[in-house]
Amino acid sequence: MSHDRPDIPEILATLKEFTRGVADKARGSERYDALCAGFLVDVVKRELVCVEAQDKSQAQRLTAITGQSGELEQLYEAFCQNVRGGRLDQQWDEVFDFALQQVIDKVAVTKPDYLAPEHQADALTGNVKKQLE
C-alpha cells in the first residue's frame, strides 16, 4: 500500500533533526536524553534497512549448518541445541563464522562505527549504505 508523505525515512530524519536541536539547547540530563533519543532513531533507521536481508542470510546459513528448515526462531533454537549437544563440533569453522557474522550484523545496526573496516564492508552492502545516507 502506498502511503502519503512523509514516509518512514523522512519521519526518522525529522525526528533526528528535532532531537539534535533539543540536545543543542539542553543541558545535563535533558541533553543526555535527547542524545539518546537521536541515537535510537539511527538504530531504528538501520534496523528497518537491514533486518530483512540479515534475517534471510541468517536463515539460509542456519539451514545449511543444522540441515533443518523452518522459521528463523526455530532455526536458532535448533542451532543452539546442536551446539550445546556437541553435534556441530565437526563444523566448528562454519559455526564460528556464523557466530561472528551475527555479532557483525548486530553491531552494524547498533553502532556500525565500532566495526573494524573489513567488517563494515561485510555488514553493509552498497545498496544498504545508500539507503542509510
What CA–CA distance (Å, rounded) separates 41 from 12?
A: 6
Distance of CA 98 to the CA centre of its chain: 15
Q: What percent of the chain shows pLDDT beyond 70?
A: 89
Residue 63 confidence (pLDDT): 97
All cell numbers assigned to 23: 540536545
- Quick one: CA torsion of 39, 40, 44, 50, rounded to 10 degrees? 50
pLDDT tens digits, 29-67: 999 999 999 999 999 999 998 989 999 999 999 999 999
**For the chain, domain boundaries:** 8-132
What CA–CA distance (Å, rounded) separates 26 from 102?
A: 37
Residue 133 confidence (pLDDT): 54
Range from 4-13, 28-37, 79-88 carrying the lowest mean pLDDT: 4-13
Residue 127 confidence (pLDDT): 45
What CA–CA distance (Å, rounded) separates 58 from 14?
A: 32
